[in-house]
Chain A
Amino acid sequence: QTVVTQEPSFSVSPGGTVTLTCGLSSGSVSTSYYPSWYQQIPGQAPRTLIYRTNSRSSGVPDRFSGSILGNKAALTITGAQADDESDYYCVLYMGSGVYVFGDGTKVTVL
């Protein structure tokens, strides 16, 4: 069974930059997996940040960017703000209409 891997947690200083990654337990992530990224504050519904690797969803500030770094998808937050403190999830399209979420990364801004 395919497992999508994410770092459990990350800390970043206000104004700093953090890069979260999204990998596969076996194999490399490419644009063919159409990685997307979601932000979720506990107790709230998810919010879409990035789709199709690097396209920003409507209303998402440009301090959030998506890319492929090496063999993983990546979400970079540049100039982190206090309200970026949240859980971040990636999802990969596995083909044939099937999707798999990663377990999420908890980002702390301090």
Chain B
Amino acid sequence: EVQLVESGGGLVQSGGSLRLSCAASGFIFSSYLMHWVRQVPGKGLVWVSRINTDGSGTTYADSVKGRFTISRDNAKNTLYLQMNSLRADDTAVYYCARAPNDYFGMDVWGQGTTVTVSS
């Protein structure tokens, strides 16, 4: 069964750091691009970041550029999001999502992990 499981969320103070993980199983992880998408409770989905298959190419939304870093470990089938200089408006549920090369979108989603930044 194809599965993505996020972890690492929690409560952190403004200005702090947190690293999210997304454990992948049931598919060849190294063959897929991966995304992070976030959602403030009651609000819409917002794209955060994307990484290519070997980790050599990354892109970010302007709102997180310079503060967040996406990375992956294909040997461990795991995607990461290092979040630094956190702000109250980073509070959200963070989803990881799989992206086939020819999709230009996402096909499989995790259940999300909640990040709360206290001011």
Contact = CB atoms under 8 A, between A and B. Distances in A.
Interface of A: 1, 34, 36, 38, 40, 45-48, 51-52, 57-58, 87, 89, 91, 93, 96-104
B94 to A, nearest CB: 11
B111 interface: yes
* Those 4 A-B pairs whose CB atoms lie nearest each other, nearest first: A36-B105, A34-B104, A97-B59, A99-B47
B46 interface: yes
A99 B50 contact: yes
A14 B21 CA distance: 41
A45 B112 contact: yes
A58 B106 CA distance: 12
Contacts of B47: 91, 98-101
B100 to A, nearest CB: 8
A34 B105 contact: yes
Contact of A51 (B59, B61, B62, B104): B104
A89 B37 CA distance: 12
A23 to B, nearest CB: 15
Nearest to B93: A45
A13 to B, nearest CB: 26
Contact of B110 (A38, A45, A98, A99): A45
Given A96-B59, A97-B57, A46 B104 contact: no
B103 A47 contact: no
